Amino acid sequence: MGSLPGTAIREAVQLVIDEVAAFPHLPEQPARGPGGEMVGRALALLPDFPAAWGPTGWALTDRPGHETRRSVAYLGEDLDAAEELLEGWTGPFKVQMCGPWTLAAAIELRSGRKILGDPGARRDLHQAYSDALAGHAAEVVKRLPGISLFVQLDEPGLPYVLDGSVPTPSGLTRLAAIDQQVVVASLASATASVAAQVETARTGVHCCAGSPPLRLLRELHDIRDDGSPGLGFASVDATLLTPADDDGVGEAVEAGLALMLGLVPTAGSGARGAGAGSDQVVAGASEILRRLWQRLGLPVEQLARIVVTPRCGLAGATPLQARAVLAASREMARKLADEPEGFVRG
């Protein structure tokens, strides 16, 4: 979904080109340490929010810590590698960035409180984030002018923001739930800012947690009242979806929201599939999709809006496992395109 193992970015970009050439992305490598994971990567775009890595994670400081400076260097290196190795590419290309709500839930203020719990600080962060994300999108297109850009906001913390289960730094209490319309407004602002810089870009939200807020994402898909574009796609872990999520999934599909479904197991997802043979992995992932589609009762034609992806956790795999998982995802996508009826009837 974005993260890959290792610390050598050129090798990671080449792996993406080799295995998912039809839909490459800019890899992240959490194994680099603080500054290489998703929160540090987002901070690389936010010079007005200097931060450092400490005992409890990321916290705002008077000046950037060396981890933040390292994250800026990493992002530059990653863009350089993509620009060189994907020169002349004219198809889709995806970048991903920690979303504004997961970011606010992860970073502490100088006072020790989470930004999420301070409305003023949260508002300032989200405004800066929208502007920075748009600038990042424009930079990617400048370096790869022929691409169709997809911008993925990683929001694993979104369900916890909405239900009030984000812990305070002490762990003794929880931060208050954020009103859904406040969340919608912030994500819509980020989407609109990207579109203002790169008109053809499609922005989506990835949430790999259980009970993803699919109805909220479907609402974001609708064209906003001010005429700005809505959400282009939603990405969820299909293996965590339960019958309680079916209405949200069905409504999203029927509304025309493209879905990226995490179906192929990875070493970091706790599944054994990353070490299994490709046929076995594809068969298991296909059965998950079949059961979901049969529960939903949607027409076969709607499967055309599904993009097959690995589950989260690919950064915890070995490079060899990561290659196998990407290859299995590609093979399943091919079968889905060639024989969609087989995924419904079994």
What pLDDT shows up at residue 225? 52
**What residue has token string 């990207």?**
194
H-run or E-run covering 151:
strand 148-154
Residue 334 pLDDT grade (very low, low, confident, very high; cuts 50, 70, 90): very high
Enumerate residues 6+ apart whose C-beta is below 8 A from 58: 34, 39, 40, 43, 51, 52, 106, 107, 108
Which pair of tokens denotes residue 111? 């006072």
Query: Helix, strand, or coil here: 54?
Result: strand
227-248 b/e (C-beta count within 10 Å ≥ 16 → b): eebbbbbbbbbbbbbeeebeeb
Q: What is the pLDDT of residues 190-226, one digit of tens each?
A: 999 999 999 999 999 999 999 999 999 999 987 555 5
- At residue 336, what is the residue type? L
Secondary structure (DSSP) of 63-97: S--HHHHHHHHHHHHHHHHHHHHTTT--SEEEEEE
Q: What is the pLDDT of residues 133-148, one digit of tens each?
A: 999 999 999 999 999 9
Q: What is the pLDDT of residues 153-184, one digit of tens each?
A: 999 999 999 999 999 988 889 999 999 999 99
Q: Left (φ > 0), alpha (ψ -120 to 50) or beta: where does 213 sit?
A: beta
Q: Among residues of the chain, what percentage have pLDDT more than 90?
A: 81
Q: What is the pLDDT of residues 32-51, one digit of tens each?
A: 999 999 999 999 999 999 99
When pLDDT is averaged across residues 65-79 and rounded to a whole number, the result is 96
The more confident residue out of 222 and 290 is 290
Query: Helix, strand, or coil here: 308?
Result: strand
Query: Helix, strand, or coil here: 28?
Result: strand
When pLDDT is averaged across residues 292-298 and rounded to a whole number, the result is 91
**pLDDT at 1 > cutoff 90:** no
**pLDDT at 277 > cutoff 80:** no
What pLDDT shows up at residue 270? 45
- At residue 264, what is the residue type? V
Residue 268 pLDDT grade (very low, low, confident, very high; cuts 50, 70, 90): low
Which pair of tokens denotes residue 240? 């965590």
Shortest CA distance to 108 belongs to which of 45, 154, 50, 184?
A: 50
CA–CA distance, 42 with 1 (Å, rounded to integer): 16
- At residue 95, what is the residue type? V
The more confident residue out of 77 and 298 is 77
Q: What value does the mean pLDDT of the chain take?
A: 92
What pLDDT shows up at residue 346? 62
Q: Among residues of the chain, what percentage have pLDDT more than 70?
A: 95
The domains found in the chain, sorted by start residue, are 9-29+71-345 (3.20.20)
